[in-house]
Structure 1
Amino acid sequence: MHHFDAAYEMLHGLSSRYEAECEFLRSVAPIISHRRKDADLEKVHSEIVINCERFGLHKTSLIMLCTLSCLYERNDGEEPLIGRKIIKPTDSYSYEDAHNAISDLRALEMLAAINGLNIGCVAFCTRDKHLAALWCGLNISSPKWLDSQFTCSIEPDVSLFPRLSETDVAELVQELND
């Protein structure tokens, strides 16, 4: 029964977060829809963080990490385009676009949460190479449930932010955790 209570609490939390995530994506998609010059990165980064906070989202959420992955992709548009291929930002981002991106991210959240239930080895099968790359690049570890709260550790890999060095990624993660 404990597992059902935890699952219910998780689903309840997800539904209340959904609208905020939709609005967040709709607000930031236009500013990440095109690759930015190095000189613009800091300003756009700040704008993304402000929007994240305005909609009450955690700065370490998957949606935030994917958004920053779009910002810090390679200048030349070459792979990996992990965040961009999941969020698919455009200048006229719709609720449907946001819903599709959030649904992909929910699958990964569910995988992490299920692994925290200690019910055995759980796998995820997808043909979406960018979603698989996100999962691998997040380096999720230590999934666990305490009462009805799920926690895990995320140590994003440089593959999610190709324009940043390993030191820059560590600083970014520290900033997001503060």
Structure 2
Amino acid sequence: MTSPSAALSEHVQTSRRVTAPGERALRFEEYDSAGAPTGRGATFVGVEFHGLKYADLIDHKLNTPINIPLRWTNARVVESDLEGVSPEDVASVNTSLESPYSSRTIGLVQDGWLPSGMALQDNMVVMPDRCTFSELSGRFRDGAKTNEDDRDFLDLFADHTVRINPLLFALEGNVRSNPSPEVIEQQFDIACAMIRAALPLAELVPSGRGGLRGAIGIMNDTQAGMARKQEFLIRLAPMLRAPVAARRVGQIWDEVLKIADECGVPRRSLVVLAALSAVCVPNGKSPAKGLLKMNERNYSLEHAYNALADLRSLELLMHLFAMFPDEKILLCTGDKDLALFWAGIRASNFRLNEGHFECTFSPIEALLQNVTDERKSSYFQESAG
């Protein structure tokens, strides 16, 4: 069925609760046309929301109540007093959510984005970035909210045994450059302490310091590439600070690819794709320009590192999707530009081919405007590197 009830109004509240061990539920409450509750509703289990798209996020302010479309398939109804909706029905729902809750952090999933709390699924591994760690730390003490009047979808983190991986926090470090193994270890301990103080029910994965070896290995493996990409961004900054005139898009597009080659940066890497988007979207409106920090007047290696740390988080996410196709993995970020870029590039088909990572990018038109079909076709037909 396409909706749980013809009487279900556009005013919908959601809440999650556990109806059985390991079983997460979503409750719909019916509201009438005046916005008053009718006292009727339905509870679903097995709900996995489809990811939202670029267009659903572009005009949304993260600290305001959210109004978004919702879609899921094959959820089971466990209780209902709505007309036409019976327990044990299998429901596919296409409706909208008008909620008093904000979504200060965004959950990046394989097919787009969701408010972080709504994206949670049982046994999911959550990878918060540093700003999400700060948000959680300020929002909760011992699992209780510090401000009951502040309603956000992050509140759903407090009610469940959320599995949290502090890799991104530790790997980014706090020195705006590649952290040393000692800094990674220190930041890992800080991240674990922040979560234990805020959300005592959370499970840190991997437990103990066993995961540090992987974080240090990632830092060592990416250090040389990070330096080449920093040089690439430093060289681009003067030409991308101001919006690129439409008549010069082709010229600057080609120059970006030339500089990438000279710096030894693969053309099909995320940083090059982001730079191309910053070139061709009119008036500097591409989220990629904000993501790359290209609005900074005195662009520095530190700005480049911060941008590349964000892009590295997407690269890690995509690699994890390829390595563990049956695992549920969520990256949580408070960076709207990063989330828009992820939703806009529409990455898919994550796979490992003889140990080499591959995926497909299908960017939306909003990220690559004013570019000839010939240039786009040439770029996307090149081998990924």
TM over 0.5: yes
Q: What does residue 87 of structure 1 align with?
A: 292
Q: What does residue 232 of structure 2 align with?
A: 24
1:154 to 340, 356, 361: 361
- Aligned: 1:57 with 2:265: yes
Which consecutive residues of structure 1, in runs of 5 or more, have no partner in the other structure?
A: 1-5
| 8 A contact 2:268–2:383 mirrored in 1 | yes
Deviating more after overlay: 96-105 vs 155-164: 155-164
Q: For residues 91-118 of structure 1, what are the alpha-carbon distances to aligned partners after superposition, in whole Å with 9 as ceiling and x for unaligned? A: 5321001000000100111110111112
| 8 A contact 2:229–2:263 mirrored in 1 | yes
| 8 A contact 2:244–2:282 mirrored in 1 | no
Q: For residues 103-146 of structure 1, what are the alpha-carbon distances to aligned partners after superposition, in whole Å with 9 as ceiling and x for unaligned? A: 01001111101111125121111121111111111111121224
- Aligned: 1:97 with 2:303: yes
Where relative contact order (Cα < 8 A, 6+ residues apart) is larger, the structure is 1
Q: For residues 157-176 of structure 1, what are the alpha-carbon distances to aligned partners after superposition, in whole Å with 9 as ceiling and x for unaligned? A: 212124448x4684364365
TM-score (norm 1): 0.82
Q: Distance in 2 between matches of 1:11 and 1:44?
A: 32
TM-score (norm 2): 0.40
- Aligned: 1:47 with 2:255: yes
Letter paired with 2:299: Y
Q: Distance in 1 between matches of 2:377 and 2:257?
A: 15
Q: What does residue 114 of structure 1 align with?
A: 320
CA distance change for structure 1 residues 67 and 176 in 2, over 3 Å: closer, same or farther? farther
Letter paired with 1:84: K
**Secondary structure in 2 matching 1:43:** helix
| 8 A contact 2:344–2:363 mirrored in 1 | yes
| 8 A contact 2:253–2:279 mirrored in 1 | yes
Counting matched residue pairs gives 170
Letter paired with 2:301: Y
Which consecutive residues of structure 2, in runs of 5 or more, have no partner in the other structure?
A: 1-213
Letter paired with 1:129: K
Letter paired with 1:82: P
| 8 A contact 1:139–1:157 mirrored in 2 | yes
Alignment RMSD: 2.7
Deviating more after overlay: 22-31 vs 132-141: 132-141
CA distance change for structure 1 residues 146 and 11 in 2, over 3 Å: closer, same or farther? farther
Q: For residues 22-65 of structure 1, what are the alpha-carbon distances to aligned partners after superposition, in whole Å with 9 as ceiling and x for unaligned? A: 00000011101111212222221221111000011111110001
| 8 A contact 1:29–1:91 mirrored in 2 | no
Matches for 1:124-143 after TM superposition, within 5 Å: 124-143=331-350
Q: Distance in 1 between matches of 2:361 and 2:239?
A: 26
- Aligned: 1:66 with 2:274: yes
CA distance change for structure 1 residues 105 and 176 in 2, over 3 Å: closer, same or farther? same
Specify which structure has the higher proportion of helix: 1
| 8 A contact 2:245–2:282 mirrored in 1 | no
**Secondary structure in 1 matching 2:323:** coil
Q: Distance in 2 between matches of 1:163 and 1:113?
A: 31
